[in-house]
């Protein structure tokens, strides 16, 4: 094979390799990207079935732990002050999961408007507020971080009902 032919063969191999890498990435991007949403986004336009990350604060008094068919299921509501969503999760809740705490859950919206979480993340730090959650709260106009710590958990419920009512 000539030097030119060899060069073309290498260019072809590289082209096929990088081309398939690009094609695979684009294909995967269109289906496997996970968007971060706040409860008010879900209330506005939630598409059931798609994988999402839902972030907000755990509503005070909303956590119920039940046993469904021998499996421990936790039900709780996640709020950003404007709207709240029912979340169900089967599994071990993180140690610092508690009411009024910022939380990020990974899962899908079900047709009945509830959120089925496959993962619940709460950081190992009492004062920790996930960045995405903080941004969502700021967007909802419920918390200005420059004016101090977030308002206590109990008032979040009132805000949610006030907005809802």
Partner 1 sequence: MIPELGHFALALACALSFAQAILPIYGAWRRDERLIAAAPGLACGQLLALGVSAFCLVWSNVVDDFSVLNVAENSNSLKPLLYKITGSWGNHEGSIILWALILALCGGAVAGFGRNLPGALRARVIGVLGASSAGFLLFSLLTSNPFTRLWPAPIDGRDMNPLLQDPGLAFHPPMLYAGYVGFAVPFAFAIAALLEGRVDASWGRWVRPWTLASWCLLTCGIALGSWWAYYELGWGGFWFWDPVENASLLPWLTGTALLHSAIVVEKREALKIWTVLLAIATFSLSLSGTFLVRSGILNSVHAFANDPARGVFILGLLGVVIGGSLLLFAIRAPALSAGGIFAPVSREGALVLNNVLLCSIAAVVITGTMYPLFSDLILHDKLSVGAPFFNATVIPLAVPVFAAMTIGPVMPWKRAALLPALLRIWWAALIAVMVGLIALTKAPVLPALAFGGAAWMIAGAAADIVERIRLFRLPAGNSMARLRGLPIAAFGAAIAHAGLGVTVAGIAGMSLARQQVVLVHPGEQIQAAGLTWALDSLTDRTGPNYNERVANIRVIRPGEPDLEMHPSRRAFTTQTVTTTEAAIHTTGFADIYAVLGEERDGAAVMRLHYNPMAPWIWLGGLVMAIGGGLSLADRRLRVGAPARKTVPLGVSA
72 beta partners = 67
Q: How far is the CB of 28 from partner 1 (least distance, A)?
A: 4
Distance CA(165)–CA(163), nearest Å, equals: 6
Q: Which is nearer to partner 1, 121 or 155 (CB)?
A: 121
Range 19-38, binding partner 1 (CB under 8 A): 20-21, 24-25, 27-29, 31-36
Nearest-10 Cα torsion for 138, 33, 83, 153: -60
Tell me the C-alpha to C-alpha distance, in Å, between residue 62 and each of 57, 97, 143. 11, 13, 21
Of 17-25, 80-88, 109-117, 146-154, the window that binds partner 1 (rule: CB under 8 A) is 17-25
Q: What is the DSSP string of 83-125?
A: -EEEEEEESPPPTT--TT-EEEEEEEE-TTS-EEEEEEE--S-
Q: Which of 43, 53, 75, 138 binds partner 1 (CB under 8 A)?
A: 53
Check residue 90 for interaction with partner 1 (CB under 8 A). Answer: yes
Distance CA(1)–CA(4), nearest Å, equals: 8
Q: Which of 45, 47, 49, 67 binds partner 1 (CB under 8 A)?
A: 67
Would you tell me which residues interact with partner 1 (CB under 8 A)? 1, 3, 6, 9-10, 13-14, 17-18, 20-21, 24-25, 27-29, 31-36, 51, 53, 65, 67, 70-72, 90-93, 95-96, 106, 124, 126, 131-132, 135
């Amino acid at each position: 094979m000539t030097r030119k032919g060899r060069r073309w063969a290498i260019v072809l191999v590289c082209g096929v390799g990088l081309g398939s890498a690009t094609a695979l990435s684009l294909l995967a991007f269109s289906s496997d990207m996970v968007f971060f949403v706040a409860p008010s986004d879900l209330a506005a336009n939630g598409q059931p079935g798609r994988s999402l990350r839902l972030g907000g604060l755990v509503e005070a008094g909303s956590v119920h732990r039940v046993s469904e068919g021998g499996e421990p299921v936790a039900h709780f509501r996640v709020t950003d002050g404007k709207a709240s969503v029912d979340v169900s999760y089967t599994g071990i809740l993180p140690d610092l999961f508690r009411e009024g705490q910022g939380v990020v859950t990974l899962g899908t919206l079900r047709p009945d408007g509830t959120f089925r979480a496959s993962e619940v993340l709460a950081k190992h730090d009492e004062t920790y507020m996930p960045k995405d959650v903080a941004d969502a709260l700021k967007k909802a106009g419920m918390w200005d971080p420059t004016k101090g710590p977030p308002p206590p958990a109990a008032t979040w419920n009132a805000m949610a009902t006030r907005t809802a009512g």
